[in-house]
């Protein structure tokens, strides 16, 4: 059996947990894979991608800042990737056709609904941020049939561009001084926490029944989740489950095999 060669392209990439996640998935099926983190120069995506695939790579994941480069690079893109204009999973088939997918949204929704048991249908959702991660998850969240999704971003014009790209009447843009009833679910999709910062928003968006999710994760509670807890949220979750679930969808695209994610999430959690 030949070793399947996979990678994750990013810059920076040293922090990536994807190699250990995919090696654990492969072990579940007794598959022999080599999955490496690849530090790609910011202007080098196409060159690295072409070389990796020409040298026999089966596919690769893509993380910051290359998801849009990957969308432009692939020959065909899935509906999820096309809506997001961003690709996090590249694969090549036997005819040499290079396809791009975006599994972030499916990963998030699987974590919210299957792992955490948070219903989306009929819920009012507030999303903080309007960058690549948020664009990547909107289509999947909308397909969960929420009553509304409000986007709040530090740069409001960016949220407006995203909302008009999706053109869904349930999707709207709000500003930091919004008023009104608390939301059912608040999702932080900003990178503010990476610098220990907190997006600007009033605590009345949180009520006694509000569930808060941070796409970021870490060994300690993220600044957003610490704030949500102080503000009285009923449930808190970070993005570790999303990370493993989006990886599971990538693995399925490459190998056509399902994986069991719970033990992988658990092991990752204890090693943070
Ligand atoms: P981008 O750089 O594309 O977007 C960053 C977003 O964060 C923008 O909306 C930006 O606002 C906002 N932001 C940055 N700093 C601040 C701040 N100090 N206060 C308020 N808003 C701020 O990043 P991504 O969308 O790719 O990633 C966002 C987060 O999601 C990251 O933490 C990433 O790790 C996480 N992520 C997690 C995944 C998982 O599987 N768990 C998958 C993908 C991403 P503005 O437009 O005003 O600049």
Q: For a ligand 1 pocket test, name from 13, 61, 129 the mutation site with the most ligand atoms within 8 angstroms of its C-beta.
A: 129
Closest Cα to atom 1 of ligand 1: 131
Average pLDDT over residues 64-77: 97
Decide if pLDDT at 13 tops 80.
Answer: yes
Q: What span, in angstroms and rounded, lies between the C-alpha atoms of 135 and 87?
A: 11
The architecture that CATH gives domain 4-102 is: 3-Layer(aba) Sandwich (3.40)
In the structure encoding, which two tokens stand for residue 254, read together?
Answer: 């490459």
| 153 CB within 6 A, ligand 1 | yes
Give the pLDDT mean for 195-216: 94
Peptide bond connecting 12 to the previous residue in cis, omega within 30 degrees of 0: yes
Pull the structure tokens for residue 26. Answer: 């492969």
- Residue 115 token pair: 């792992």
Residues forming a β-bridge with 128 = 152, 188
Mean pLDDT value of segment 243-268:
98
On average, the pLDDT of the chain sits at 96
Looking at residue 34, what is its pLDDT? 98
> Rounded to whole angstroms, how far apart are CA atoms 180 and 182?
7
Instruction: State the Cα–Cα distance between residues 252 and 259, nearest whole angstrom.
Output: 8
Q: What is the CATH number of domain 105-240?
A: 3.40.50.720
Residue 189 CB–ligand 1 contact under 6 Å: yes
Q: For position 1, what pLDDT does the model report? A: 67
On the question of pLDDT at 57 being above 90, the answer is: yes
**Which parts of the chain are beta strand (E)?**
4-10, 33-39, 59-62, 76-77, 89-92, 98-101, 124-128, 148-152, 171-174, 185-188, 211-214, 235-238
Domain assignments of the chain as residue spans, ordered by start: 4-102, 105-240
The structure's pTM equals: 0.96
> For the chain, how big is the Rg over CA atoms in Å?
18
Compute how many other C-beta atoms are within 10 angstroms of the C-beta atom of residue 221: 15
Please determine whether the domains at 4-102 and 105-240 fall in the same fold group of CATH: yes
Instruction: State phi, psi for 195 to the nearest 5 degrees.
Output: -105, 20
């Amino acid at each position: 059996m030949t070793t399947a060669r996979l990678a994750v392209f990013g810059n920076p990439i040293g922090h990536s947990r994807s190699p250990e996640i995919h090696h654990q998935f492969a072990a579940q099926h007794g598959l022999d894979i080599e999955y490496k983190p690849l530090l790609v120069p910011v202007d080098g995506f196409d060159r690295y991608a072409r070389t990796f695939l020409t040298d026999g790579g089966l596919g690769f994941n893509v993380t910051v800042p290359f998801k849009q480069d990957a969308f432009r690079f692939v020959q065909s893109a899935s509906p999820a990737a096309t809506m997001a204009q961003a690709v996090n999973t590249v694969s090549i088939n036997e005819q040499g056709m290079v396809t791009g997918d975006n599994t972030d949204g499916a990963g998030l929704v699987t974590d919210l609904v299957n792992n955490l048991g948070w219903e989306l249908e009929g819920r009012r959702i507030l999303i903080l941020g309007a960058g690549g991660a948020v664009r990547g998850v909107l289509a999947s969240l909308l397909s969960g049939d929420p009553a509304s999704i409000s986007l709040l971003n530090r740069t409001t014009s960016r949220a407006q561009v995203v909302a008009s790209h999706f053109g869904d009447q349930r999707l709207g843009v709000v500003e930091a001084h919004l008023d009104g009833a608390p939301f059912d679910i608040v999702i932080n999709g900003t990178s503010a926490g990476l610098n220990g910062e907190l997006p600007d928003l009033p605590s009345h968006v949180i009520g006694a029944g509000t569930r808060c999710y941070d796409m970021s994760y870490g060994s300690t509670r993220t600044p957003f989740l610490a704030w949500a807890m102080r503000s009285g949220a009923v449930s808190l979750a970070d993005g570790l489950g999303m990370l493993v679930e989006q990886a599971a969808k990538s693995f399925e695209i490459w190998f056509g095999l399902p994986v069991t994610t719970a033990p992988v999430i658990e092991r990752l959690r204890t090693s943070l």
